[in-house]
Homo-oligomer: A and B are copies of this chain.
């Protein structure tokens, strides 16, 4: 007798607009997760690295890295949303909320906000808004993502849904100013660079210079830490016979690598506040070396605050391609990530 208790994940037919997915396995974040995050990416932003620095910023402890929060929330959604995903297509309208500290327990809920069948009849796109919540029900993160998902049966009919309308970027005044810690008395010696908000100019580009080679063990450790179960990251037996011949690295791993590299030139961008959009332009594989550069797309005041300001950054990551020439997705081979986010810096 063979049971049907194990799951092979949802297919396009399993989704419907208005559907609410309460994702499994809440996760208590710990100092162990933080240490692993440091070991995986080498992140050095002072706010997350030092409890003393965080206290000077009015927090009671060092908060958990914003992208670690993102990965943990994202990971919970995978078994329900993207186990059968062909590709993770994009992000929009992301906002970071209350800070997360070791000891907090995170859970995730997603609303299906759109579905669109592809013309090939074999796949479609599912749009979800995912919210991450702490043990008190406070929102730590909210974002939209869309993924290409396989149909279970090419013959099945998907009603003519339309994709949701999504903002090009999050307006600065829609961001959560309370999510930004106090930056009065910011310690520029401890943070590593002297640059304030006023010293960044719209259009300015920053080559983050350093490169980081990724190993199979590293991205597997990371992706399991996030309890992300997408099969393409872990199974060489099947992926070896698949389209790339090898395991695909979780796109979020690239974001965190680029973010850690961006310390060199953006050391004072200690807090990510919004995720305007993002695209995984090409896959990353073990053995590749990741580089990154950033452009300041825009600047904005932080509503009600004169201690900190906002930079809208375009962060580009590449593989085996140094970024002194600021390569762009449609111009250069080797670009793997094109991310658009709001960060807070001292004023």
Contacts and interface: CB of A to CB of B under 8 A. Distances in A.
Interface in A292-309: none
Given A229-B210, A266-B5, A135 B247 contact: no
Contacts of A50: 25-28, 105
Nearest to A25: B44
Interface residues of A, number: 87
Nearest to A230: B210
Contacts of A212: 234-235
Q: Is the interface of A mostly helix, strand, loop or mixed?
A: mixed
Interface string A28-51: 101111111011111011100111
B25 A49 contact: yes
B237 A207 contact: no
A153 interface: no
Interface of A: 1-3, 5-8, 22, 24-28, 30-36, 38-42, 44-46, 49-53, 62, 79, 102-103, 105, 107, 135, 189-193, 195, 200-201, 203-213, 215-218, 220-225, 227, 229, 231, 234-238, 247, 264-267, 287, 289, 320, 322, 326
Given A39-B225, A40-B221, A236-B287, 8 more contacts: A5-B195, A7-B265, A24-B193, A25-B192, A31-B32, A32-B33, A211-B234, A215-B216
18 contacts: A2-B205, A3-B205, A3-B206, A5-B265, A7-B209, A24-B189, A24-B192, A26-B46, A27-B49, A28-B50, A28-B51, A28-B52, A32-B34, A38-B225, A38-B227, A41-B224, A215-B217, A217-B217
